[in-house]
Amino acid sequence: MATTLKGQPLDRPTLDTLCRRRLFYTPSFEIYGGISGFFDYGPPGCALQANIIDIWRKHFVLEEDMLEVDCTILTPHDVLKTSGHVDKFADWMCKDPKTGEIFRADHLVEEVIEARLKGDKEARLGEKKGAEGGVQETAKDVEENTSKEEKKRKKKVKNIMAVKLPDELVKEYESVLAKIDNYDGDELGDLIKKYDIRNPATGGELNPPLAFNLMFQTSIGPTGGVAGYLRPETAQGQFLNFSKLYEYNNLRMPFASASIGKSFRNEISPRQGLLRVREFLMAEIEHFVDPEDKAHPRFSEVFNVKLSFLPKGVQQSGSTEVIEKTIGEAVKEGMVDNETLGYFLARIQLFLLRIGIDKNKIRFRQHMNNEMAHYASDCWDAELFNSYGWIECVGCADRSAYDLSVHSKVTGQELIVRETLAEPVKKDEWEVDIEKKIFGPKFKKDAKIVEEALLALNQAQREAAAKTLQTEGVLGVSLPDGRSVEVDVTTVNITLRSKIINVREFTPNVIEPSFGIGRILYTLIEHSFWFRPEDVNRGVLSFPPSVAPTKVLLVPLSSNAQFTPIVNALSAKIRKVGISNKIDASSASIGKRYSRNDELGTPFGITVDFQTVKDGSVTLRERDGTRQVRGSQEEVVEVLRKLVEGEIGWEGTGLKEFVGQAVDDE
């Protein structure tokens, strides 16, 4: 069950109401009825997002000396065809042929099975309490802490009764849920058929799952002759600029590029607020590394960082039990593939903790084989727990050399690294020699295609081909279009030759941490939310000062005209040291003004009162404990700067505790 920062049961509708009322975010196009999967950020939401990005830049781009780029959103078809997105960037959907309703297959299976398990728990609870057989409650009644949107969704499973299931079926269901991300379309279809999963609203049977490409397609130019897409990720622009970045970095390896920008995915059934949207902000890193040396020079700095791991082997066994160990141990044991991948997993956790994510609600889940992206050799997701369950917020993949290799092959541009060796190396290599005078006339217009197919053979394939030519005199060659041709010893010769190598050429591998900023932002709001025990309606967002939208609230004690110039001058002083502040000179009580800014996550408040008029001192309040200290304006501004920059905590202010004004109100 999701809980608040203070361990209280989290009521999502209350939090959602707060976020929308305080304009952290709001549904887009709402006065036109809205379109699911789109949200606008209001002033505090924009500030919160900007502060998260600012810390991300400092934590990664500046700390790791990364090369930041900003690439175009519109992407030509050929680029995404080459990367594999046109053919493989898809989710599985199934359709009710009678109603036309579309479901995302894995989500439907997960939703129905979870509802049945909730019904089983409710029935067992009723049995334990001595209730008579089958409690007539629906699965949606079991989960009360749901938003209006979630309740609307739960109506789809209203016919799932709270009945006890056989123990074997419960274990089977739990195993399916643990492996839900590992199923392909056929397997999801088998689950739907096996467990008789239908349209929950009508009971209608569903068509088998079909792949649905998630990219938004468009055309470029007035004639529409150039097909394109809104990019589904920011990565491709970084790969296409690799050679330029490598040269900019003075031909030094390893190095990393970074990009922050919007991406787009045409989700089948977007819901869960900011967690599943069609337009979102991403922050991605592409760390280019030698495939033969994936050690990281700073790995020792994170060696003892402890993480909670959920390896693929554990998931495939039907369990979700995490394993806690240091990243050093995980890499040494081979659970995490290499030091560079491990280094970034640790740095990801340190970043999440830095912005205020609850450490006890972070786990790193390894991708299982079927869910592994087409380019990845290993991948871990940083999943954060919130009221929707465990949600992927950061992916960290070893993309091997896939992207640079395929783009190089299609364009003919070399996306490689040339490294001068300290000492020359003797190397034996199989080389393909073509007798052009015979080869050309024999294959005519296909000559170039056949030659490219021969030259594309790797060393092992060339060795085997040489033996075939030697023993049989002919060699079959498969062409990209599916045809097969034969070459013989009069046209082709494959020979082993020794070479002295002075320069090593290789295609870098890529380690890619990819951050979904909207998901992190929403989870941070949940992890920071709590309410004061004396008043459950007094919600508080305990953002760390570094990410809080507004750092300090300036509050004049009353509407007395003497306070206005003091407040304005103090606001200017605070702005000069780079601290965002807001003045609330409304007629509401001091308590009310602080309370509504607690909802905005403002960590500090300054009160200007009649004592200020007398000696210039002001009161500084901290949000969570409502404690107050007093000092001169200069002292308070300097303390604020240190608090916001994390140089000190509240206990280190050095200011006297405030107990009351030295003069009466006038």
- DSSP letters, 52-89, are HHHHHIIIIIITTT-EE----SEEEHHHHHHHTHHHH-
- Looking at the chain, the domain(s) classified CATH 3.30.930.10 span 41-72+231-402+511-517
Q: Please provide the CATH number assigned to the domain covering 41-72+231-402+511-517.
A: 3.30.930.10
> Would you state the pLDDT for residue 375?
66
The residue type of 345 is L
Q: What's the average pLDDT block by block, 10 residues per block, for the chain (666 residues)?
A: 93 94 96 94 97 98 97 95 88 90 89 88 77 44 42 46 84 87 87 92 90 91 89 96 97 97 91 90 98 95 97 90 97 95 98 97 92 79 96 95 93 93 88 91 90 90 93 90 89 92 92 97 98 87 97 95 96 95 93 94 96 95 95 96 94 88 44
Q: Please provide the CATH number assigned to the domain covering 91-213.
A: 3.30.40.230
Handedness of CA 363, 366, 371, 376 (dihedral sign): positive
> Would you state the pLDDT for residue 664?
42
> What does pTM read for this prediction?
0.82
Residue 359, CA distances (Å) to 345, 383, 549, 594 in order:
14, 11, 22, 28
- Separation CA 544–CA 542 (nearest Å): 6
Give the CATH class of 550-657.
alpha beta
**How would CATH label the architecture of 425-503?**
2-Layer Sandwich (3.30)
For residue 254, whether the previous peptide bond is cis, meaning omega lies within 30 degrees of 0, is yes
Residue whose C-alpha is closest to residue 385's, from 415, 421, 361: 361
> Would you state the pLDDT for residue 138?
44
- Looking at the chain, the domain(s) classified CATH 3.30.720 span 425-503
- Looking at the chain, the domain(s) classified CATH 3.40.50.800 span 550-657
Collapsed DSSP state (helix, strand, coil) of residue 182:
helix
Question: Apex CA 426: angle with CA 424 and CA 428, to 5°?
Answer: 150
> Would you state the pLDDT for residue 660?
66
CB-based contacts of 56: which residues, under 8 Å, 6+ apart? Answer: 260, 283, 351, 515
| Counts of helices then strands in the chain (DSSP H, E) | 24, 31
3-state secondary structure 419-464: EEEEEEEEEEEEEEEECHHHHHHHHHHHHHHHHHHHHCCCHHHHHH
Handedness of CA 455, 459, 464, 470 (dihedral sign): positive
- Separation CA 321–CA 310 (nearest Å): 7
Tokens of 336: 């995490």
Are the beta carbons of 512 and 402 closer than 8 angstroms? no
> Would you state the pLDDT for residue 134?
41
Are the beta carbons of 214 and 233 closer than 8 angstroms? no
* Number of Cβ atoms within 10 Å of the Cβ of 19: 24
